[in-house]
Structure 1
Amino acid sequence: MTLHDTPRGPLLDVRGLTVRTDDGRVLVDDLSFTVDSGERLGLIGESGSGKSLTTLAVLGLLPDGMTATGSVELAGTQIIGTPEKRLTAVRGRDAAVVFQEPLTALDPLMRMGRQIAEPLARRTGLRGRDLRNAVTEALVRVRLPEPDRIARAFPHEISGGQRQRVALAMALACDPGLLIADEPTTALDVSVQAEMLDLLDTLVREREMAVLFVSHDLAVVARVTDRVLVMKDGRAVEEGPVLDVVTAPRAAYTKALVTGARKLESALDLRSPR
């Protein structure tokens, strides 16, 4: 799967995850799921369903004022309760994330090449020309034209679609076992979204990576995942193979999502053979 040893059992094992605010409100309620090596799991639900908070809890990145309980094991490391210093080593190596808006992940005052180079240097020890070549390769891998120009650019000097590709290059640079994609195409126009999904599918397939794909768009989830977990009000309401869930949903909420999803049939037709 990656350059790293794979643990026995699921790559990601979430058991009884509950996220509370300091004043006691429950935002994610007793959530359990697994992601095996090479598997693609979709988390779907409307805004406020708790899906993005779930991904933050998986990475140990919950904002101040929120606390996670339960168990989250990533590549054999317990995330909940683990000191930040150790979690820093896990992020990028065992799991990496691409957010909806790349500007939240990119430093506006740092050139693109340096933003990719820094985690690469920490993880691989590369320096000088070898590091510069690795940065160029990372940009070429995500199909960015003129990689040298992109490497010299600041975030505001390139398009939104290019920024998202840079963010993807950063996430994949250290060959993580799990890629977390949190609404990675929502901010893009339709044509750029389709290109990004195709690119993501190709890169993940080549590296045999696991994916936790978060979206409110059932058609997108149906296109890129193997299995889906539907969330509502912080709880799981349905889980199963994506084709089963979208063709024969059991929960009323899932049925409503399927009914309201446009382009679902074309999304299923576009799925590559597994």
Structure 2
Amino acid sequence: MSILAIRDLVIRTAGGRTLVDRLSLSVGPGERLGLIGESGSGKSLTSLAALGLLPDGMSATGSVELAGTQVVGATEKQLTSVRGRQAAIVFQEPLTALDPLMRVGRQIAGPLARHRGLKGAALGRAVTDALTQVRLPDPERLARAFPHEISGGQRQRVALAMALACEPRLLIADEPTTALDVTVQSELLDLLDELVREREMALLFVSHDLAVVARTVERIVVLKDGRAVEEGTADEIVHAPRDPYTAALVASARQLEDALDRGRTP
């Protein structure tokens, strides 16, 4: 049984413009699925729809079943019981995803108290453990910091710690490394891969970067203008793309990789 099953998802604006058109995909237990496409392809909207987080002025029809709960048409109370425990999301820019007026530890403590009923010393230990698991040094000190007092890479690890704190079955990572430099990006991808495998979680990894997606997932869905144009294993997509749009993405990724390699050559 799939943890996330999307069937004929349509996302429209209030004015009737279709942004995602009859999209279907599924993520099974422990599976890692990549959702890739250029800006405006509908990939981030799809990840938001999976948790019932579409912005005001947008609506979804079709079916989005998350861990047995139908997200489309669900009440906020129903969704609150699913978010954090069954599925969690890490966004592209942690500085905007985190509350700038709240200390890091308190932000991680929120879902732990709500979903696991922790309080007092047990809650404090759980916060420290969550920061330690994402390889952050001196977690007690960092828990007392505000988001603006730590680096971008540290903020994204804090966001990851928050997402993983309640041990969800599905992690949605929406462009989680785009705002980071190349070295920090690579370190975070390695950490993400390690944690997902250790916990046997499912992963929906959303990105415009084919090279990043291919190193992270087993299967890829390619979106163009809100529609899935191709689906296959990571190896099939990278080495034998069938759709011209996918082939263009592969060629672009290879050109960028070649240019970076030339830049690194002494």
Q: TM-score, length-normalised on structure 2?
A: 0.95
CA drift at 1:265 = 8.3
Asked if the contact 1:59/1:79 (under 8 Å) is kept, the reply is yes
Q: Structure 2: any 5+ residue segments left out of the alignment?
A: 259-266
CA distance in 2, matches of 1:85, 1:110: 24
Partner of 1:261, secondary structure, is helix
Secondary structure, aligned partner of 2:33: strand
Deviation at 1:122, TM superposition (A): 0.9
1:208 to 200, 203, 225: 200
Distance of 2:147 and 2:75 partners within structure 1 = 31
The question of 1:12 aligning with 2:10 is answered: no
- 1:28 paired with 2:20, answer yes
The amino acid that maps onto 2:8 is: G
Corresponding letter in the other structure for 1:34: S
Q: Can you list the C-alpha shifts for 1:213-241, whole angstroms capped at 9, x where unaligned? A: 00000000000000000000000000011
Taking the aligned partners of 2:256 and 2:170, their CA distance within structure 1 comes to: 26
Deviations 1:57-92 (A, max 9, x none): 111001111000000000000000011111011100
Counterpart pick for 1:88 among 80, 94, 113: 80
Deviations 1:94-141, CA, capped at 9 Å, x for gaps: 100000001222110000000001110111111111110110000000
1:133 and 2:157 are equivalent in the alignment:
no
Q: Distance in 1 between matches of 2:47 and 2:72?
A: 13
Corresponding residue for residue 158 of structure 1: 150
Mark the CA change 1:141 to 1:263 in structure 2 (over 3 Å): closer, same or farther. Answer: farther
Q: Which amino acid aligns with 2:65?
A: E
Which contiguous aligned blocks of 4+ residues in structure 1 show a shift greater than 2 angstroms?
262-266
Task: Confirm or deny that 1:102 pairs with 2:94.
Answer: yes
Task: Give the aligned CA root-mean-square deviation in angstroms.
Answer: 1.2
Determine helix, strand or coil for the equivalent of 2:89.
Answer: strand
> Do residues 219 (structure 1) and 242 (structure 2) align?
no
Q: Does 1:178 align with 2:138?
A: no
Q: Which of 120, 141, 155 is the aligned partner of 1:149?
A: 141
Q: Matches of 1:220 and 1:29 in 2, distance apart?
A: 25
Question: What corresponds to 1:253 in structure 2?
Answer: 245
In structure 2, the partner of 1:231 is 223
- 1:38 and 1:208 in contact (8 A); partners too: yes
CA shift for structure 1 position 167: 0.1
1:68 aligns with 2:60: yes
The TM-score, its normalising length taken from structure 1, stands at 0.92
Task: Identify if the C-alpha distance between structure 1 residues 242 and 210 changes in structure 2 by more than 3 Å, giving closer, same or farther.
Answer: same
Q: Is the 8 A contact 1:219 1:264 kept in 2?
A: no
Distance 1:263 1:188, change over 3 A: farther
Q: How many residues align?
A: 258
Partners of 1:14 and 1:31 within 8 A in 2: yes
Query: CA separation of 1:38/1:264 partners in 2, compared to 1, >3 Å: closer, same or farther?
Result: farther
Counterparts of 1:236 and 1:171, CA distance in 2: 27
User: Per-residue deviation at 1:264?
Assistant: 8.8
Tell me, what secondary structure is at the counterpart of 1:221?
helix
Letter in 2 for 1:220: V
